């Protein structure tokens, strides 16, 4: 199924609760009247005449005229709501039903209709209040009883909801809606058998009601019984051939089942029944034709819509997409510019323009269009997500993180954003949040191989090799020919120190995808481990010849050259990488490391300051500058830089860790140091440097007993680190563990990697 087809399915058929709410709105009765003054009466009479002729747009005009004469006319609000309903303008209909209910507090119908729309909009508290108001007027109103039950379910009070609906079935044994609602609640509770019994009871009590068969069909479809679901959908359609819900359901069903051709009659019927100026289903028909590779049919549907003021932008934006798909790039660009000339803040057009520009390699211009879209509609998930992907493509990591985070604020269930955040956090070394996002995505889509492999990658980074390996093996059983599966299998084997298996897996990945970067990186690691540096260099050079401007390859080539001792060549690679992609932070990091190794620290800072000038809110370069100042011994400037980083991002783990250590070491505020160290520990729970910092803060606060386990943990991970051994030694002595302290101090002296630490360790032993 194509992406566009999937969107059609999502647009046309939702969860059971939404379906029931729509059904309730569709099945409610109509009618009410008042005795208005003469002018209002004439407008109402004229509106009624148009309504009976199914000229709903004209009817709406007359009802609005009546409201100009009497803005508090409940009758006019109610009739206008019904006109909007027929036009498919459900948002307007909901607003008018609520106004009618407010104007007619003693009338049951507007209360019930308003409650139904509030339920549809998931405003469960308000829906409950309206339903209760209707029941205060008419305690036996079945529609109000059913809405109340569904509202309680929406408020997660499933027991009360079930009791309410069961009481309704006693009051109205033939209420299909009540039984269908019971089925939905039982389904939500995981009671499949009870849910099915309720849905079938709804059909049994009213076998000629299309809505009951639709509810059963949706249940059967969700229970992976497509044949039985199809039969129920068809039965609903037979009972009511003009039922829009049945037509939508069948259209969605056939598209989802890969039988798109069979969906056409239902799309066409929906489009034919649609009243102007609503073009929802006509546009859906055009989208359907595009998804089934019939662009000419789509253009024929779009042409009359584009000729109207209301439908111009939506139709022409689709025309632009069709032209772009046909590779008529100039024509597509012309059409989308035409839309934006008339409506500069049209978000779908802006996003399509951004997409076109990105595909043409004009990413900066695409980012500009996406930013305008976000400003025009701050609640647009599509706009934030597209902007995030574009920013990520330019290596603007922190900005991309911000956009994907905004997506999850708007809708926490967007799995694609969770995956993006997992990958970006992993790239930044933020392993704990990366794992959390990957696990959230895997929970939502447990059978998606891409999601599972992302989870395996983050587990591997977090040191959980066994679980990562199990996931990779499970995916490999289903997708043995996927290069990424073999790359990850190689990474797992590498962690398990099985070099032979790792090489086989990496080579298999390369055979399937000659551009697989993870496989190349793994093979380079193996070449160096086997003392074959020339083979590693030849391997990278061969790939560079194919992709000479790939910043990742240039950075990898620099690492190879550095390891081989050719820092001049490495510097050339890195400078080229920065020229190709000034935003690729990895190149700056390696270049800074080279300069630090060569004691060219001012030059390293100068390179980093150049990117900071362009990206002042980017955390990485600012943190590196702080580290360079520390390497120069300029602790005051280092602290200032770390403090600046934490103003940008209070949870920046590396800056928090380094600043905490400086405060503890240099006599700063220890309470602040503790907060910073704890922040770093939360973000980087497995980093030995963070354990050492937190332990040192505890030591300075005279909490040596709490410090010792942290230093032991850090020393186990880096046994050759003399500073960790020294910290363990002095904290153990302070905690009264003399033998442990002496042993650690002696080890620090034995390592002898830092004269200052050696001197301090000897001094501590002498005092002991």
pLDDT in tens, 319-329: 999 998 888 88
Burial of 404 (0-12, 13-18, 19+ CB in 10 A): buried
Cα(294)–Cα(631) distance, rounded to whole angstroms? Answer: 64
Q: What is the mean pLDDT of residues 628-645?
A: 89
Range in 67-81, 116-130, 403-417, 420-434 with the lowest mean pLDDT:
116-130
DSSP string for residues in 370-407: HHHHHHH-TT-HHHHHHHHHHHHHTT-HHHHHHHHHHH
Q: DSSP secondary-structure letter at 262?
A: G
Cα(297)–Cα(284) distance, rounded to whole angstroms? Answer: 12
Q: What is the mean pLDDT of residues 628-643?
A: 89
pLDDT score of 276: 55
Range in 32-46, 94-108, 328-342, 364-378 with the lowest mean pLDDT:
32-46
Of 245, 221, 252, nearest to 8 (Cα)? 252
pLDDT score of 31: 35
Q: Where are the domains of the chain?
A: 687-768
b/e map 483-506, b = 16+ CB within 10 Å: bbbbbbbbbbbbbeeeeeebbebb
Whether 229 shows a pLDDT value over 70: the answer reads yes
- The 10 Å Cβ neighbour count of residue 649 is 18
Residues 6+ apart with CB under 8 A from 358: 366, 390, 393
pLDDT score of 182: 64
Determine the number of helices (DSSP H) and then strands (DSSP E) in the chain: 45, 0
CATH of 687-768, one of 3.40.50.11290, 3.30.70.270, 3.90.1720.10, 1.25.40.10: 1.25.40.10
Judge whether 455 and 442 are in contact, CB under 8 Å.
yes
Q: What is the mean pLDDT of residues 234-246?
A: 80
Whether 660 shows a pLDDT value over 90: the answer reads yes
Residues counted in the chain: 768
Whether 436 shows a pLDDT value over 80: the answer reads yes
**Phi-psi region at 411: left, alpha or beta (left = phi > 0; alpha = psi -120 to 50):** beta
pLDDT score of 3: 32
pLDDT score of 178: 61
Of 543, 677, 588, 640, nearest to 397 (Cα)? 588
Whether 471 shows a pLDDT value over 50: the answer reads yes
pLDDT score of 1: 32
**Average pLDDT score over the chain:** 83
Distances (CA, A) of 269 to 209, 236, 624, 709: 20, 15, 63, 72
Q: What is the mean pLDDT of residues 562-586?
A: 81
pLDDT bin (cut points 50, 70, 90) of residue 407 is: very high
Rounded to 5°, the CA angle 177-181-183 comes to: 120
The proportion of the chain whose per-residue pLDDT surpasses 70, expressed as a percent, equals 89
In which element (H, E) is residue 42 found?
A: helix 38-52
CB half-sphere exposure, 650, CA atoms < 13 A: 2
Cα(731)–Cα(735) distance, rounded to whole angstroms? Answer: 6
Rounded to 5°, the CA angle 77-114-380 comes to: 100
Q: Where are the alpha helices (DSSP H) in 411-498?
A: 415-427, 431-444, 449-461, 465-478, 483-495
Residues 6+ apart with CB under 8 A from 97: 77, 78, 81, 110, 113, 114, 116, 117
Helix 415-427 vs helix 381-393: angle between axes, to the nearest 10 degrees? 30
Judge whether 117 and 141 are in contact, CB under 8 Å.
no
Cis peptide before 119 (omega within 30 of 0): no
Distances (CA, A) of 662 to 301, 609, 728: 68, 22, 18
Distances (CA, A) of 201 to 123, 205, 278, 655: 28, 6, 36, 63
Of 323, 318, 324, 294, nearest to 306 (Cα)? 318
Residue-wise pLDDT tens digits, 171-201: 666 565 665 566 566 666 677 787 677 778 7
Cα(82)–Cα(100) distance, rounded to whole angstroms? Answer: 11
pLDDT score of 524: 93
Judge whether 254 and 236 are in contact, CB under 8 Å.
no
Rounded to 5°, the CA angle 692-426-614 comes to: 95
Residues 6+ apart with CB under 8 A from 653: 429, 430, 679, 680, 683, 684, 690
Distances (CA, A) of 22 to 102, 443, 651: 22, 29, 45
Whether 574 shows a pLDDT value over 80: the answer reads yes
Cα(192)–Cα(188) distance, rounded to whole angstroms? Answer: 9
Longest dimension (CA), the chain: 107
Helix 722-734 vs helix 704-717: angle between axes, to the nearest 10 degrees? 150
Whether 426 shows a pLDDT value over 70: the answer reads yes
Residue-wise pLDDT tens digits, 521-559: 999 999 999 999 999 999 999 999 999 988 889 989 999
Cα(64)–Cα(52) distance, rounded to whole angstroms? Answer: 17
pLDDT score of 606: 81
Whether 644 shows a pLDDT value over 80: the answer reads yes
pTM to 2 decimals? 0.60
- For residues 156 and 465, which has the higher predicted lDDT (pLDDT)? 465
pLDDT bin (cut points 50, 70, 90) of residue 131 is: confident
Q: What is the mean pLDDT of residues 477-503?
A: 94
Rounded to 5°, the CA angle 149-152-156 comes to: 135
Q: DSSP secondary-structure letter at 55?
A: -
Cα(208)–Cα(3) distance, rounded to whole angstroms? Answer: 36
Q: DSSP secondary-structure letter at 308?
A: S
Burial of 405 (0-12, 13-18, 19+ CB in 10 A): middle
Distances (CA, A) of 69 to 48, 64, 79, 93, 97: 17, 9, 15, 20, 19
Range in 6-10, 453-457, 465-469, 593-597 with the lowest mean pLDDT:
6-10
pLDDT bin (cut points 50, 70, 90) of residue 5 is: very low
């Amino acid at each position: 199924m194509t992406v566009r087809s999937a969107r059609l399915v999502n647009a046309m058929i939702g969860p059971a609760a939404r379906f029931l709410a729509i059904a309730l709105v569709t099945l409610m009765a109509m009618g009410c009247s008042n005795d208005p003054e003469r002018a209002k009466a004439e407008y109402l009479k004229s509106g009624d005449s148009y309504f009976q002729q199914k000229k709903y747009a004209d009817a709406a005009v007359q009802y609005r005229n009546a409201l100009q004469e009497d803005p508090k006319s409940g009758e006019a609000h109610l009739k206008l709501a019904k006109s909007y309903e027929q036009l498919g303008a459900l948002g307007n209909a909901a607003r008018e039903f609520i106004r009618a209910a407010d104007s007619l507090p003693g009338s049951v119908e507007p209360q019930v209709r308003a409650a139904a729309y509030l339920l549809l909009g998931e405003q469960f508290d308000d829906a409950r209040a309206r339903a209760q108001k209707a029941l205060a007027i008419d305690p036996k109103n079945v529609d109000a009883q059913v809405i109340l039950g569904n509202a309680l379910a929406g408020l997660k009070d499933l027991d009360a909801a079930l009791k309410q609906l069961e009481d309704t079935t006693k009051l109205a044994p033939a209420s299909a809606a009540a039984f269908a609602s019971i089925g939905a609640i039982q389904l939500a509770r995981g009671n499949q058998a009870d849910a099915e019994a309720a849905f079938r009871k709804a059909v049994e009590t009213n076998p000629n009601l299309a809505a009951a068969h639709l509810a059963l069909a949706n249940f059967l479809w969700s229970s992976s019984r497509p044949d039985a679901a199809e039969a129920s959908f068809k039965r609903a359609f037979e009972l009511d051939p003009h039922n829009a819900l049945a037509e939508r359901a069948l259209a969605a069903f056939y598209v989802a089942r890969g039988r798109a051709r069979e969906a056409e009659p239902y799309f066409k019927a929906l489009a034919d029944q649609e009243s102007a100026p609503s073009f929802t289903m006509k546009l859906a028909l055009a989208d359907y034709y595009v998804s089934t590779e019939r662009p000419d049919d789509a253009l024929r549907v779009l042409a009359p819509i584009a000729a109207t003021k209301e439908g111009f932008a939506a139709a022409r934006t689709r025309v632009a997409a069709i032209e772009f798909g046909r590779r008529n790039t100039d024509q597509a660009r012309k059409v989308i510019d035409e839309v934006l000339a008339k409506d500069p803040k049209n978000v779908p057009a802006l996003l399509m323009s951004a997409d076109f520009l990105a595909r043409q390699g004009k990413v900066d211009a695409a980012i500009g269009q996406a930013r305008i879209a976000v400003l025009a509609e701050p609640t647009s998930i599509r706009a934030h997500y597209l902007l995030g992907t574009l920013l990520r493509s330019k290596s603007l990591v922190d900005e991309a993180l911000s956009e994907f985070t905004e997506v999850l604020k708007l809708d926490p269930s967007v799995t694609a954003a969770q995956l993006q955040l997992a990958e970006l956090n992993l790239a930044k070394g933020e392993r704990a949040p990366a794992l959390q996002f990957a696990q959230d995505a895997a929970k939502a889509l447990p059978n998606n191989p891409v999601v599972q492999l992302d989870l395996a990658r983050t587990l591997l980074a977090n040191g959980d090799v066994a679980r990562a390996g199990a996931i990779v093996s499970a995916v490999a059983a289903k997708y043995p020919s996927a290069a990424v599966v073999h790359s990850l299998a190689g990474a797992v084997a590498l962690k398990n120190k099985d070099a032979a298996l790792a090489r086989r897996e990496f080579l298999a990945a390369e055979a399937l995808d000659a551009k697989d970067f993870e496989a190349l990186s793994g093979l380079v690691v193996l070449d160096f481990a086997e003392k074959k540096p020339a083979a590693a260099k030849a391997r990278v050079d061969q790939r560079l010849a194919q992709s000479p401007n790939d910043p990742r390859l240039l950075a990898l080539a620099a690492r190879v050259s550095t390891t081989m001792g050719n820092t001049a060549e490495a510097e050339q690679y890195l400078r080229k990488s920065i020229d190709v992609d000034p935003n690729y932070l990895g190149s700056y990091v390696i270049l800074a490391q080279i300069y630090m190794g060569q004691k060219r620290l001012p030059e390293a800072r100068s390179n980093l300051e150049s990117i900071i000038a362009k990206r002042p809110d980017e955390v990485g370069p600012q943190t590196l500058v702080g580290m360079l100042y520390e390497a120069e011994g300029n602790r005051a400037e280092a602290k200032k830089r770390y403090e600046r980083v934490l103003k940008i991002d209070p949870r920046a783990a590396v800056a928090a860790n380094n600043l905490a250590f400086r405060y503890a070491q240099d006599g700063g505020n220890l309470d602040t140091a503790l907060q910073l160290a704890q922040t770093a520990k939360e973000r980087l729970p497995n980093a030995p440097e963070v354990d050492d910092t937190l332990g040192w803060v505890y030591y300075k606060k005279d909490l040596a007993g709490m410090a010792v386990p942290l230093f032991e943990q850090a020393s186990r991970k880096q046994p050759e680190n003399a500073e960790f051994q020294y910290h363990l030694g002095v904290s153990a002595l302070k905690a009264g563990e003399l033998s442990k302290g002496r042993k650690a101090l002696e080890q620090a002296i034995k390592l002898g990697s830092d004269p200052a630490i050696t001197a301090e360790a000897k001094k501590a032993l002498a005092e002991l």
